[in-house]
Structure 1
Amino acid sequence: MTSLEWKYKGEFLTINNRKIFVIDEGNSDKTLVILHGYPTSSFDYYKVLPYLTKQYRVIIHDHLGFGFSDKPLDYSYSLIEQADIALLLWEKLNLKNVTLLAHDYGTSVATEIITRNNQSQLTINIEKLILCNGSMHIELAKLRTIQKLLKNKITGKWVAKLANQAIFNRNIRKIYFNKSKVSKEELNEMWFQINYNNGRNIIHLLSNYINERYFFWNRWIGALKQTKIPSKIVWATHDPIAVKAIAEQLHKEIPNNKLLWLENTGHFPMLENPKEWSDVVLK
C-alpha cells in the first residue's frame, strides 16, 4: 500500500485548531484505539488492519507532528499535549468503552492517559490496556546514537537538517530482526510521511519525548503500578532499543497483566511479522 492510498482511507478532524489524520475502520461494537510510535505514523498498521478489524472497530490517528497530521513550528510536542489530543479526538468520535493499544512513543502517551484514569479524570472507559515495545523504563532502553543527538537541544536541529533517506533507511533496517522483511517501498512511504508538511523541520522537537520520559518517570511508571485495568504486554524479543528487560520489569510491576513474547522479531512487529503480532494482540 502507498501513503496516498492510506491517506484516502482516512479523514481529517480538527482538534484544538489542528488537523489530525484519523483511520476509522471496522463495524464491531468493540473499539480498539491505537497510539503509534516514533518517527513513523498510523501507516505502521496498514498490514495488520485487516486482522484487527475482524474483532474491533479500529481507530488510529497520526499524533500531531507525525504522518499526515499538522506539523506546526510553534508547538511544544509534549507527550502531555499528545494525550490531550488523543482524548479530545476520542471524545469527538463519541467513544465510551475502548481497548487501548500503544507502541513505542505511543506507550508514553498511554501512560499519561492511565495517570489521568487513575485520578478519575477521563470521560472514556478503558476496558483493557495493551503495551508493545516501548521504552517506558527509559533507564533500561538502548538508545541509538541518532536518538541521543536529536533529543539534545544543541545538536538536535542540526542533525535533523543533515538527516536524509539513506541515514533513515539504515537506522530502520537496524531495528528489524529479519532485515529482508523491510522493503525499499515501505521505507520510501515512511520517509515520504516524515517529510510531508515540511516534517523534517520539527523532527528534533518531536525527539524531546525522550527527555520527558526521564522527567515524568515517577508520574508514568507510578500510574502503571497503580492501574486496575487488565493489561497485556506484547513484546518482540529482538528489539535492540526497547529491550526484553523493559517488558520483564513491566510484568513485575503492573498489577493485573499477562506477558506474551513474539520470538525472532524486532522493534516494528506489526510490520515485520503482522499475522503473528495480530494473533497475539487478539488472543
Structure 2
Amino acid sequence: MLNPNIWRSQQRDFHWQGLRIGFHDEGQGPVLLLLHGLPGSSWDWYRLWPMLTGQFRLICPDLPGCGDSDKPTEYSYRLNDQAQMVLALLAHLGIEQCQIVGHDYGAGIGMQLLNTDSNIRIGRCSWISARRGGDARYFLWRELWLAGPLGQLLSHCISEGLYGRYLETLSGPFTPISSQTRQDLWQLLCAHQGLQVLPQLLHYRYELPLSSETSMASNNAQQFIDGEYDPLSRHNRSNGSLWIKTGHFPHLEDAEHLAMLLTEFHRGHDAGSQAVFQNLRNGE
C-alpha cells in the first residue's frame, strides 16, 4: 500500500483565487477526472490508482477545504465554487475533454460541472454513492447536525474514535475499512485544521439536485454505482444503479470490482484494456 505521506509529498500545486490546491496528474490515455467524497481527499483513490493509471490519465485534486489543499474559514464552499476551481485546474493543464468519476460529494460537484458552461467537453460520467437533495434520508443524523446552526460548535467534539465509528456505520459488513486506512483518513481530515470547515462543506446538501433532476441533468452517458450495504443508498433501488457488495466506499472496500466497472464503462469492452486489468488482478 502506498504510504499516504509519500502520496502527499508527490502532489503538485495549483493556485486559484488565492488558494493552494494540491492535485495529482498521472497516467496515459483518456483523461479521467476523479472527484473525492466528503469527508475525504484525493488519497481516497489510492487503491484504484495502480489499476487505472495504465489505461487513463488520472487527474484528482484535493478539493478546497479537504486533504492538503487550503481550508479557509472565510470561503463559501458552494458546489459552483468547487466546480469553477476544477474547470480552472483542467484549463491550467490544457485539458480540452475529460470523463468524470465522482464519489459522494464529488458526484455533486461533477453534476454541477455538467450544468456549467465551459470550453471543456465532458464525456461519460460515473457517480459512486451519489446523494440526492431535498431528502434528509440521504444523510446520517450526525451529518445533519454538523450542517445545522450548531455545526461549528459540534465540530470541536469530533474525535478519531467517533470518526472511526462513522466509517464503520457506512461501510459494508463484509468489506470493513482497515484500522490503518481509518487512521490515514483521519489525519488527512484534520490536516490544516480541517475539522473547522467541515460544517461549511456539509452545507452542500442544500444544493444537491433531486433524483428526477439528476437523471435529466444532461445528455451525457451516466453510470450510477451504489453499495448494497450503504445505508444512504437503500432509497436508490429505482434509479438503475449497478450494485456492488460494499457500503458507502466501494473504492476503499472493493477497489478491484469497482475498477472493472469503471474500465468497462469508460473504455468500453475493449479487449486490450480488459487484458491489462486482468494482469493487475493476477499481480503480473
Shorter-chain TM band: 0.7 to 0.9
Deviation at 1:142, TM superposition (A): 3.8
- Matches of 1:198 and 1:278, distance apart in 2: 32
Deviation at 1:3, TM superposition (A): 2.3
- Matches of 1:140 and 1:237, distance apart in 2: 19
Residue identity in the other structure for 2:184 = E
- Matches of 2:26 and 2:88, distance apart in 1: 19
- Residue number in structure 1 paired with 2:184: 189
Residue identity in the other structure for 1:246 = N
- Matches of 1:180 and 1:222, distance apart in 2: 32
The structure with the greater share of residues assigned to helix is 1
* 8 A Cα contact 1:238 1:265, kept in partner: yes
Matches within 5 A, 1:39-54: 39-54=39-54
- Matches of 1:187 and 1:75, distance apart in 2: 27
- Residue number in structure 2 paired with 1:22: 23
Please give the secondary structure, in 1, of the residue aligned with 2:216.
helix
Residue identity in the other structure for 1:19 = R
* 8 A Cα contact 1:131 1:233, kept in partner: yes
- Residue number in structure 1 paired with 2:257: 276
Give 5+ residue unaligned stretches, structure 1.
Answer: 252-258
Please give the secondary structure, in 1, of the residue aligned with 2:231.
coil
Residue identity in the other structure for 1:183 = S
* 8 A Cα contact 2:133 2:207, kept in partner: no
Identity of aligned residues (%): 24
* 8 A Cα contact 2:175 2:254, kept in partner: no
Residue identity in the other structure for 2:249 = F
Deviation at 1:247, TM superposition (A): 5.8
Residue identity in the other structure for 1:225 = M
Matched, 1:237 2:228: yes
Matches within 5 A, 1:105-254: 105-116=105-116, 121-139=117-135, 141-153=137-149, 155-178=150-173, 181-213=176-208, 217=209, 222=213, 224-241=215-232, 243-246=233-236, 248-249=238-239, 251=240
After TM superposition, the score normalised by the length of structure 1 is 0.88
- Matches of 1:78 and 1:247, distance apart in 2: 28
* 8 A Cα contact 1:160 1:203, kept in partner: yes
Give 5+ residue unaligned stretches, structure 2.
Answer: 265-284
- Matches of 1:53 and 1:247, distance apart in 2: 32
- Residue number in structure 1 paired with 2:242: 260
Q: What is the CA RMSD across the aligned residues, in angstroms? A: 1.8
Residue identity in the other structure for 1:57 = R
Q: In 2 relative to 1, CA 248–9 (structure 1 residues): closer, same or farther, beyond 3 Å?
A: farther
Deviation at 1:69, TM superposition (A): 0.4
Deviation at 1:144, TM superposition (A): 1.2
Please give the secondary structure, in 1, of the residue aligned with 2:126.
strand
Deviation at 1:101, TM superposition (A): 1.0
